[in-house]
Amino acid sequence: MSISGTSLADTIAVGPSRHAALLQRQGVVVALVLLILFGAWRYDDFLGLYNVMSVLRYNSMFALVALGMGFVIMTGGIDLSVGATAALASVVSAGVSDVGLGAGLAAGIAAGLAIGLINGLAIAWARLPAFVTTLATMLAARGLALLISGNQSVSVSWETSFTDLGGGDFLGFPIPAWIAGIAFVLGAVLLNFTGFGRAVLAIGGNEEAARLMGLPVARTKVLVYGLTGALAGLAGVILAAQFGAGQPTEGQGWELFAIAAVVVGGTLLTGGMGSVGFTLAGAMLLGLIFNILNFENGKGDFTLSAYWQSVIRGAFLLLVVLLQNRLARRPS
């Protein structure tokens, strides 16, 4: 299967759920294309090289977080800690960036992985609710980031190649976009061609049935949350490298962006069905909406404050969820 192809659940699903999911996923691609065409028609520099590269560079962080969230939601879970985890990772990686790029990258990912594994172990082995567990680790990670940084931004070292991770290019393409692209390709392979991916979808479809089938439910959950934490940590490293400092107060609302991208991409909040490729399309769609709102403010015909932009984004998400729910109930 391709990265934008259907997942295992699409193959085995029958009736209205299958057709609804396919329609939802096709819809996000159509909406993405229409939004690009609208932007190209209305704004002179929308398809200019600078804007395209800026959108890809900046939204790569959100795409990585959305990828991890997609796997979590496919299991029927949720992770509210990804934004705080990214902030913690940005502070940790910035703090050791003077050692070099490798050390900063490893430290940030390790910090995210640690939070993810704590989530996974608490949810899978202690049987704690995912909402409560990840809410607790969100608060803990945010507090830890503030403690380590002294409630200040932590400057990165400009004497090493650390900042290249966020601001550099490779073959004319932003390095963060390369990282996100590779991550999504690997994520698609993991979901569609491995036993781990099949277990993820089976657990989301019916956890008790998956357990009776002999699937490693607890281990899969721990790995899913660990993966999500590591991806959030990687996003935090890119954040520090891109802005030149670890940001302990950054990442607020990232979990909502990630959930929105996953839902817009057609993944069911109840789990058991999802696609890595369409999660990427959902993340890019939301990123372009933000970009268009900024262009509209710059055009000067009317100005939308940050508050109104939040209202528009929230209304858009609510509309998508309502549409998804309607399609899921639609008779075949």
Q: Is residue 260 part of a domain?
A: yes
User: What pLDDT does 329 receive?
Assistant: 60
Q: Which two tokens stand for residue 243?
A: 């802005």
Looking at per-residue confidence, does 286 or 134 come out higher?
134
Q: Whole domain around residue 140: which residue ranges?
A: 8-328
> Can you say how many angstroms the Cα of residue 107 is from the centroid of all Cα atoms in its chain?
20
Question: How far is residue 308's CA from residue 293's CA, in Å, rounded to a whole number?
Answer: 10
Q: How is 58-92 classified by DSSP, letter by letter? A: HHHHHHHHHHHHHHHHHTT---S-HHHHHHHHHHH
Angle CA(36)–CA(27)–CA(295) in degrees, nearest 5?
25
Number of structural domains, the chain? 1
Residue 16 has pLDDT above 50, yes or no: no
Residue 251 in this model has a pLDDT that exceeds 80? yes
Asked if pLDDT for residue 3 goes beyond 60, the answer is no
The arithmetic mean of pLDDT across residues 169-192, rounded, is 95
Tell me the torsion sign for CA atoms 308, 312, 317, 318. positive
CATH code at 262?
A: 1.10.3470
Which tokens belong to 229? 């934490």
Higher pLDDT, 1 or 217: 217
Q: What is the DSSP letter of 154?
A: E
Q: Answer with the residue of higher pLDDT: 178 or 34.
A: 178
DSSP 176: H
Would 179 be classed as within a structural domain? yes
pLDDT category at 227 given cuts 50, 70, 90 is very high
In order of 16, 110, 324, the CA distances from 105 in angstroms are 44, 9, 38
Q: Is 2 inside a domain boundary?
A: no
Instruction: Determine, yes or no, domain membership for 88.
Output: yes
pLDDT given at position 21 = 53
Confirm if 320 and 326 have CB atoms less than 8 A apart.
no
Span 90-107, average pLDDT: 93
